[in-house]
Amino acid sequence: MTIGSSYNYPSSAVKEMARTQRSAGRKWAARFPNPPDLCFDYRALVEQNNGIAKATDPQHRICIIGAGITGLTAARELYRCGFTHITLIEQSSRIGGRHLTVPGSKQSNASHTPFEMGAMRMPFFNRSDEPPVEGRSLMAYYAKIFELSTADFANPGSQWVHSTGIYLREGTIGGEPTPHMLIWKNADGSTPPPGRELQEVYAKWKAFADRMTRHVAEVYATERWEAMWQAIVARYQNVSFRDLVSMPALKAWDEREPGDFGGMGMSAEESAIFYAIGIGDGSWGAFYDVCSLYPLRTAIFGFSSHLQLVLGRVDSLGDPIPSPHLHSETVVDSAGLSFDSPRYIGLAALSECLMFMKTAETGKSVHEHSLERKDGLLTNSSVTRLTKLANQKIRVHFDWQYSLPEQTRQHAQDFDSVILTLPSWLIETRIELENFTPQILPFETINAYKTAHWETSCKVFAPLKKSFLSKNRTIPQAIVTDSLIHDVYTYRYNDDYSYDCILLSYTWEDDATKLASFSDKELVSKCARELDRILMRCTNIQERISPYIGLDQAVVQRWITDKNSLGCAKLYRPGTYRDAVSLMKYNRDFGHQSGLYFSGESFSVDAGWTEPCFRGAIDAAIHICNKTAATFNGGFSLDDYPHYKFGS
């Protein structure tokens, strides 16, 4: 539920930040809102003419393992710098990783609504008075240069849906004598939810969020910020979200204790309601036992504000604009193996643009350059071992044509630097690291990624008749429940598309795991029956939604069983924040010696979002540029790049 998704950051603090952040001594500082750990404007570095740097050793051989957003971004930005010996290895026969857009019809063509089976709602870190592409984020930068169209995401409880239905405790919340669905209409973006119970929960969350956001915004990007963030980490790193919700609220913030914002002061009953309605990007009950720093980062620093649905590289009718390989029946990698052709529809357009759009510096795309070399891009290739050699190179062993056991061949190549972008459970279960001594790959680092907690997620998407959003006035556009389906979203990409779409059920963690025993067909049927049951039970609705849904064309995605992912997003539990930060520090502390660079969400603390994928890719590129004595652009040097710190 989204009681915080359109949060308007305090205008006075934002204006003050605009005056202070670009002082001569803080040229590369980020502005609020932005992630808290590194107050660094990655967009300012990447959006320069000629990108990050000018390579002085273009022959430096670089292997990038994984062609998700992290790997594709690293490949593109290193290529912009002038590195010409880049090998991108992908295990599957498609690019994009957990950016997975599938056609919304089995008889698919470009005019059919897509389903976003992975990442779905994009934060651009823009302020309320500016368009998304002007946000100070890498997502905003790439959306702008690739001409990606976006729309405000139809989050429950937001002004972007005409109504949200809330069904908790079998319709007894709200005090009606018969089972009811509470209807929340929030056209102005500031209307609280209906009913005394929900309003009390909303007020306690808002009081906490307003106070913390106001004080954080005043300090962010100033000389005081690093100390304040370390104080926040020290206060909350051992506290679960569940405990934060029930922790007593502060009457006032004390500048002598800058990291302490107290808790939300909810009762057990209020906490149970908050479990279902969450803070800004879906039900949060599944996350109640994670470290409280994760929801704090998400809610306060821009990850859940002004969320966008990426429509694709499309015109106003939703049709793709002219783009490389748009009408190609097949595209091939450097070895001649075909992989999924680009459609430029939905969020998948981002990964397709990273691969196929030309760079201004080279006049070629990553894909074009890869085809000039027999090993530039290798799909259907599974990396099995990394061996550190005596000459300091890394030998990458991989199985080519991985999906065809009878044709699989084992290969090995030597590289100067290797960027590893895979989910960490894949690293542990698929890749052997050989001859990396504790001096260049400490056991603490290995243990941190081996013991990382990867959550599952389950999505059930289906086509939705356009009459539902156009003519239906009884069933709410979005529904939040405490039943097995949890969150229901309906939204439209374009008036001209054949169908709209419905996310019948969106669940995480235990709420997704409990659905694992059902086949896809069984699960689709169960979700539809449950939604119909709820609607018919509510005396103020009593209409089924299933007649509007193309159940036979529904699609289910379970990320924990996807062999190329083994999880949806990496979280961390109370007491493990230091481990998570140690993974982010690795590139700077050890990469120049080991030649190994960890990048992407596996080595971040912002699970489930795209921005840490971008940032991790640029982080690896910065350190490889520094290692090879590349000439940084814009007067940047590693002295301008802040350090990750653990907190006290």
Render 223-275 in DSSP notation, one character per residue.
TTHHHHHHHHHHHHTT-BHHHHHHSPBPSS--TTSTT--B-----HHHHHHHH
For 537-572, give one letter per residue: b (16+ CB within 10 A) or e.
Answer: bbeebeebbeebbbbebbbbbbbbebebbbbbbbbb
Checking if the pLDDT of 315 tops 80, the result is yes
Alpha carbon of residue 87 to chain centroid = 25
**Confidence band of 304 (pLDDT split at 50, 70, 90):** confident
- Give the integer Cα–Cα distance in Å for 252 and 219: 17
Q: State the DSSP H helix or E strand holding residue 445, giving kind and residue range, or none if neither.
A: helix 443-450
Q: Which residue has the higher pLDDT, 16 or 298?
A: 298
The architecture of the domain spanning 188-300 is: Orthogonal Bundle (1.10)
Check residue 8 and give its pLDDT: 53
Mind listing the pLDDT tens digit for each residue in 433-489?
999 999 999 999 999 999 999 999 999 999 999 999 999 999 999 999 999 999 999
Mean pLDDT of 214-240: 95
DSSP strand E in 25-162: where? 53-54, 62-65, 86-89, 101-103, 114-116, 149-152
**What was the pLDDT predicted at 255?**
92
pLDDT of 281 over the 90 cut: no
Q: How far apart are CA 293 and CA 291, in angstroms?
A: 5
Q: Contact, 219 vs 232, CB < 8 A?
A: no
pLDDT confidence of residue 286? 77
- Beta strand 86-89 with 453-455 is unpaired
3-state secondary structure of 8: coil
**Strand, coil or helix: what is 174?**
coil
Q: What residues form DSSP beta bridges with 411?
A: 398
What is the assigned CATH class of domain 11-96+328-443+575-639? alpha beta
Distances (CA, A) of 622 to 31, 34, 351, 489, 646: 20, 20, 21, 39, 21
pLDDT class of 280 with cuts at 50, 70, 90: very low
Please name the residues in contact with 558: beta carbons below 8 A apart, sequence gap of 6 or more. 456, 457, 458, 512, 516
Q: Where are the domains of the chain?
A: 11-96+328-443+575-639, 188-300
- Residues 601 and 607: beta-carbon distance below 8 Å: yes
**Which of residues 295 and 66 earns the better pLDDT score?**
66
362: pLDDT strictly greater than 60: yes
| φ, ψ dihedrals at 390, nearest 5° | -65, -25
pLDDT in tens, 244-266: 999 999 999 999 999 999 999 99
CA distances from 321 to 72, 339, 343, 522 (A): 22, 21, 10, 39
At residue 169, does pLDDT exceed 70? yes
Asked whether the domain spanning 188-300 has the same topology as the one spanning 11-96+328-443+575-639, the reply is: no
Residue type at position 381: S
Average pLDDT, the chain: 92
Q: Looking at the predicted structure, is the pLDDT value of residue 354 above 90?
A: yes
Strands 432-434 and 381-388: parallel
Which has the minimum average pLDDT: 149-158, 282-291, 335-344, 631-640? Answer: 282-291
Q: What pTM was estimated for this model as a whole?
A: 0.95
pLDDT of 279 higher than 70: no
pLDDT digits 0-9 by tens, 30-41? 999 999 999 999
Q: Of 581, 639, 628, give the one whose Cα is nearest residue 294.
A: 581
CA angle 437/440/446 to nearest 5° reads: 80
Q: Which residue, chain included where needed, has tokens 């106003």?
A: 316
The pLDDT of residue 647: 57
Amino acid present at 308:
Q
